[in-house]
Structure 1
Amino acid sequence: MKKTLQYLISLAIAAALLWFVFKDIDLNTLWEKIKLADYRWVALSAVLALVAHWSRAYRWVLMLEPMGYKPSVFRTTLAVLVGYGANLVFPRAGEVARCGTLNKLEDIPFEKSFGAVIAERLIDVMVLLFLIFINFILEFDRLKEVFFNFFGEKFKNPMLLGIYALVGVTILIVGYLLIKKNQQKIMQLPLYQKISSFIVGLASGFLSVKNLKNPSAFIFHTILIWCMYFIMTYVLCFALPETANLSPLAALTIFVMGSIGMAAPTQGGIGSYHFLVGSIVVLYGLSEQDGITLATFLHAMQGMVFVAVFGIIAFILTLILPKKVQEKTIS
C-alpha cells in the first residue's frame, strides 16, 4: 500500500509539473519542430549513451573485484541497462533491478552489488555537486538571480530553521537512548539479525571503493561517464536549428539542470526535467516555446527513447543468457 501511494504521488507530481510547463505552449508547433530535427545527431548521441553505460558497467566491475567477484562486463552492462529501464516505470527502482539482474546473470549476492551501487551513487552525487559549483562559477552572471530567487526564501526565517534543527536533534537523541536501553532485546530479534546480515553485505560493497585494485581505471571511467553524458546533451542541441548555436557553457547549464531534474522523485524525471531545463534555457536567448521544445526533445531522446530501447533489448537478452556461477577469487 505504501509503495502504491508513493507511486501515485510521484505520478501526481509529474502530471502537475507537465501541466504547468505545457499550459502556455503550442503543442503542434513543438511537434513540428521535433519532427524536423536532424536525427543523425540523435544517432550519434545514442552511441555516446552506450559508451557511457558500458563505462558505468566497467566501473561497477572494478568495485566488485575487491570482494572477489569478476563478472562479465557485457552482462554487467545488460544489468545497468535493465536498471535504467526500470526507472521509467518505478522511480528509484533501477538500483534494485540492476542488482537483481546481475544476481540472475552472474550469481553475485544482491547485497554485495547493491552496496557497491550505493557507493558509486554517492560518488556520482559528489561529481554532480562539483559540476553545479563549476557551472555556477562560470555562469554566475546568468544564474545568480535564479539561484537567489529559489533559495533566498529558505533562509528568511533563521528562527524557524533553528526550531527544525532542535526538533531533529531531540528525536535523534531520544531514539538513540531507547535503542541503547533495549539493545540486548533488539539484537535477539530475527528481523534484526536479517537486517544486520544485509547491512554487513552492504558495507562490504560500499567499502570496496577503498580497496580498488585499479583506482586509476576507476577515476578514468568516472570522468568518462560524465563526459559522455555532457557530450550527449550538447550533440542533441545541434539537432534543432533553434538551439544549434548554443555555446558549450549553455550546454553545461542544460546538462546540470537536466541531471538535477532526472534525480527528482518522478518516473524518469518526467515533468521535473522539462520544468528545470525549459526554464533555464530562456537565460540564453531562447523563447519559452523553443526552450520547452528543447527540453522535451532532450528528455524524449535521452530519458525515454534511448533508455526504453536499450532497456528492452537488454531485458530480452537476460532472458536468453544462462546463469553464470561465480567463483570468488579471494576469501
Structure 2
Amino acid sequence: MAGKSLLRQHPLKFILSFGVSAFLIWFVFKDLDWQGFILALEDISASYILLGAALLIYSVWVRAQRWKILISPQGPSKTKDLFDALLVGYLGNDVLPFRLGEVLRAALAARKTKILISGIGATILVDRVLDMLSFLIIAACFYMFYPIADWAQTVAIIGFSALIIFLGLAIFMRGQREKLFGWIESWSRRKAEAGKIKMAGHILSLFKGIETMWQMPQPIKVLSYTVWLWILYIMITALGLAAFHFDFTTTEFFMASMVLLTFTTISLSIPSAPGFVGTYHGAVVAALALVGIAPTPAKAFAIVFHLLNYLAMAIPGAIIFFRTGLKFQFASDPTEVTGPPKEQVN
C-alpha cells in the first residue's frame, strides 16, 4: 500500500501529525461539561445543517467549474469528471495521511480527461494559490474594517502585501514567458532525444499547468467563481451558527462567520491526522471564544460542524471512489490509475 510506503519514508511527519491532533483533541475536550454539551446538541435545528451540507456539495461543483477553466489550456474536460475527482480527493484527505487526497484527485482527473497527471497536478497548485491569495485578501479587508484583536491589523497587512507580491511576480513572469518557454521546450526536447519521451511530455505539461498562474484563461470568470465560492463558504458557516441558535444580530452573524472561516481555513495548513481532526476543532473553539460563545456550546458546534464538512464530502466521495474502481496504489505509481500518459512532444 502507498500509505505504508510513505509512512516508512516519513515516520516523524506521521508521528507529528497524529501527535498534534491527539494533543488538541485532549486539550479542547478535557474539561467538557457533558450535560451542557448534550443540551446544546439537542437544541440544534437540523434543517440548517442539511441546507449547509447541500451548499457545501454545490460549492464543489462551483470549484469544478473554476478548475475546468484552469485545465483548459491543456485540453478539454467535463465539469462532472472534475467534480468527481474533487470529491474523491476530499475523501482521500479525510482517510489518508499526508494529504494524499490531492494525489488521488490529480490521478482521477488525469484518468478522466486523458491529460498528463503532471499537468493536472500543476493546475491543482494554481487552484491552491488562488485559494490562498483570495483568502488573504478577504481576511485582510475584513480585519481592516473589523479589527477584533491586536493581531487583526497584521493579518490585513500580510494579505495586501501578498497581493502586491503576487501581481508583481505575475507581471514579471508574463514578460519572461517566451524566454522561459524556450528554455522549457529545449530541455524537453533534449529529454525526448535521449529516449525519455514520457519525462519530456511531463515537463511540458507541468509548465503549461503552472503557466495559468500568470496567463490566466478567462480571468473574469475565474474571479467570479472565486468570489462566489467564498460567499458560499460564508453562507455555510452562518447556517451552522444559526443551527445552534447563538444570540447574534445580523452584523454579528457575519462577523462571527468571517472569524470562524479565517480560523478554520488557517487550521487546514497545520499538520494533523486525516480529516483535520483536532486542529479543526481547536480552531473552531478559539474563534467562537473571540466572538463571545461559551466553551461548552462552542465544543458542541466544533464537533457538529466538523462532521458536516467531513460527511458531506466523504460519503459521495466514497461512492464515486468505489464506482470508478480506483485503488490506493496511486501514490506510489500514479500511472496505475491514469494509464500511460499521452506523449505531448512535437
Shorter-chain-normalised TM-score: which range? Answer: 0.7 to 0.9
Aligned residue among 218, 226, 232 for 1:228: 232
Shift of 1:13: 0.7
Q: Which amino acid aligns with 2:260?
A: I
Residues 23-68 of structure 1: per-residue CA shift (max 9 Å, x gap): 111245324422441111111111211221011111111111112x
Shift of 1:238: 1.0
Distance change >3 Å, CA 286–CA 109, structure 1 → 2: same
Residues 1-22 of structure 1: per-residue CA shift (max 9 Å, x gap): 1234422321111000110111
Aligned residue among 277, 289, 293 for 2:284: 277
Q: Which moved more, 1:1-10 or 1:45-54?
A: 1-10
Q: Which residue of 1 aligns with 2:315?
A: 309
Structure 1: gaps of 5 or more residues: 151-186
Q: Which residue of 2 aligns with 1:296?
A: 303
Residues 244-263 of structure 1: per-residue CA shift (max 9 Å, x gap): 65521111111111111123
CA contact (8 A) 1:62 1:213 kept: yes
Q: Distance in 1 between matches of 2:153 and 2:28?
A: 21
CA contact (8 A) 1:103 1:110 kept: yes
Distance change >3 Å, CA 32–CA 198, structure 1 → 2: farther
Q: Distance in 1 between matches of 2:120 and 2:340?
A: 15
Q: Which residue of 2 aligns with 1:92?
A: 99
Q: Distance in 1 between matches of 2:12 and 2:94?
A: 17
Q: TM-score, normalised by structure 1?
A: 0.76
Aligned residue among 217, 223, 227 for 2:221: 217
Q: Which residue of 1 aligns with 2:183?
A: none
What secondary structure, in the 3-state scheme, does the structure 2 residue paired with 1:131 have?
A: helix
Shift of 1:300: 1.7
Q: Which moved more, 1:236-245 or 1:272-281?
A: 236-245
Distance change >3 Å, CA 318–CA 223, structure 1 → 2: farther
Q: Which amino acid aligns with 1:218?
A: V
After superposition, residues 121-160 of structure 1 pair within 5 angstroms as 121-140=128-147, 143-145=148-150
Question: Aligned-residue CA RMSD in angstroms?
Answer: 3.4
Q: Distance in 1 between matches of 2:213 and 2:271?
A: 27
Distance change >3 Å, CA 146–CA 22, structure 1 → 2: farther
CA contact (8 A) 2:52 2:239 kept: yes
Q: Distance in 2 between matches of 1:146 and 1:88?
A: 31
Shift of 1:195: 7.5
Q: Which moved more, 1:106-115 or 1:290-299?
A: 290-299
Shift of 1:106: 2.6
CA contact (8 A) 1:64 1:205 kept: yes
Structure 2: gaps of 5 or more residues: 1-7, 156-190, 327-337
After superposition, residues 22-171 of structure 1 pair within 5 angstroms as 22-67=29-74, 69-89=75-95, 90-140=97-147, 143-145=148-150
Q: Which amino acid aligns with 1:278?
A: V
Q: Distance in 2 between matches of 1:148 and 1:301?
A: 31
Shift of 1:98: 0.3
Shift of 1:294: 1.8
Q: Which amino acid aligns with 1:253?
A: V
CA contact (8 A) 2:116 2:341 kept: no
Q: TM-score, normalised by structure 2?
A: 0.73
Q: Which moved more, 1:232-241 or 1:202-211?
A: 202-211
CA contact (8 A) 1:25 1:289 kept: yes
Distance change >3 Å, CA 325–CA 214, structure 1 → 2: farther
CA contact (8 A) 1:66 1:212 kept: no
Q: Distance in 1 between matches of 2:281 and 2:50?
A: 22
Q: Distance in 1 between matches of 2:271 and 2:28?
A: 17
What secondary structure, in the 3-state scheme, does the structure 2 residue paired with 1:247 have?
A: helix
Residues 126-181 of structure 1: per-residue CA shift (max 9 Å, x gap): 111112212322331xx32466999xxxxxxxxxxxxxxxxxxxxxxxxxxxxxxx
Shift of 1:116: 0.6
CA contact (8 A) 1:66 1:211 kept: no
Residues 50-101 of structure 1: per-residue CA shift (max 9 Å, x gap): 221011111111111112x111110110000000111112242222110011
Distance change >3 Å, CA 265–CA 199, structure 1 → 2: farther
Aligned residue among 201, 219, 226 for 2:205: 201
Residues 219-264 of structure 1: per-residue CA shift (max 9 Å, x gap): 1111111211111111111111236655211111111111111232
Residue identity (%): 22
Q: Distance in 2 between matches of 1:11 and 1:268?
A: 11
Shift of 1:211: 4.0
Distance change >3 Å, CA 251–CA 39, structure 1 → 2: same
Q: Which amino acid aligns with 2:13?
A: Q
Does 1:18 pair with 2:22? no
